[in-house]
Amino acid sequence: MDKYRKTGKKDLRSEYLHSLKTARVRIHVLRIALLILLITLWEVLTAHDILNPFIFSSPSRILATLNDLSVSGELWRHIGTSVLETVIGFLSGTILGIIIAIILWWIPTVSNVLDPYLVVLNALPKTALGPIFIVCMGTGIGAIIVMTLAISLIVTILNVLNGFIHTDVEKVKLMKMLGANRLQIFRKLIMPSNLSTIVNVLKINIGLSWVGVITGEFLVSKAGLGYLIVYGSQVFKMDLVMSSVVVLAVCAIIMHICIVLLEKATRKRFGIA
């Protein structure tokens, strides 16, 4: 009898895992199908002048533009510049933001004092500070990275700190009753409980970092995807503008995939479902 029960449980588990796998495959297929549909529709609409091909370009013209840039070597130089700036700004904003959030959680008085200032800084349009960054850092990569850092840092601090503060209060009280000190509470409860929060912050910071880099390149750069977009708009080469936007989207997707893989590895490491 026990043998049949075990067999039945294994069959149900296998069916459940198979259904999950099938659902994931279906979602991936639908995503690819939707992308193909949108690209095809874009090409057809511009080919029949329903969409203005001068303004919106078309997939075929974008491919031709990217091929020309690739052959000349300009494409990889501009991609490399923007990716380098984004990665540096992304890592700086994320790591520094998490460290500051830990300090603020560790010292509640400082957190309470700085809370309204953090809210105001988060609401402040960072592009308005662009000229100040340029004057202070010059017209090189430093100003762009500082712009990226300014956009992502406060968001990181607020989100991570909020996750730390709202960790299960009863569990915190229980650990204190059992004699755990603040470091043990942080290591054993706060940090593991907020892995999902930190991963979500990483995903958000991908977009924010690209916004910072492109904004900075609009202002000061002589290379990068932002520079290509500005140059293309100035000389009315909208194919170049749309090509740069497409490459920008692809780079952001690749970074997002890297974060998703990191999340899976982290969940597996800590045994989180």
How many independent structural domains does the chain possess? 2
* pLDDT score for 34: 94
Task: Give yes or no: residues 95 and 42 share one domain.
Answer: no
Residue 38 confidence (pLDDT) above 90: yes
Q: Which of 51, 73, 91 is the last residue of a domain?
A: 51
Residues 44-71: tens digit of each pLDDT: 998 888 888 888 888 899 999 889 888 8
Residues 72-128: tens digit of each pLDDT: 888 888 898 899 989 998 999 899 999 999 999 898 888 888 888 888 888 877 777
Task: Give yes or no: residues 26 and 79 share one domain.
Answer: no
User: Where does the pLDDT of residue 271 fall: very low under 50, low under 70, confident under 90, or very high at 90 and above?
Assistant: low
Residues 151-177: tens digit of each pLDDT: 888 889 999 999 888 888 888 888 888
Its domain, for residue 261, covers: 57-270
CB 142 within 8 A of CB 151: no
The single-letter DSSP state of residue 244 is H
Task: Give yes or no: residues 98 and 192 share one domain.
Answer: yes
- Give mean pLDDT, residues 12-26: 80
Q: Which has the higher per-residue pLDDT, 10 or 215? A: 215
Q: Which has the higher per-residue pLDDT, 124 or 270? A: 124
Task: Give yes or no: residues 98 and 164 share one domain.
Answer: yes
User: Where does the pLDDT of residue 234 fall: very low under 50, low under 70, confident under 90, or very high at 90 and above?
Assistant: confident
User: Which distant-in-sequence residues (6+ apart) come within 8 Å of 191 by Cβ?
Assistant: none
pTM: 0.80
Element (H, E) at 216: helix 195-219
DSSP string across 147-164: HHHHHHHHHHHHHHHHHH
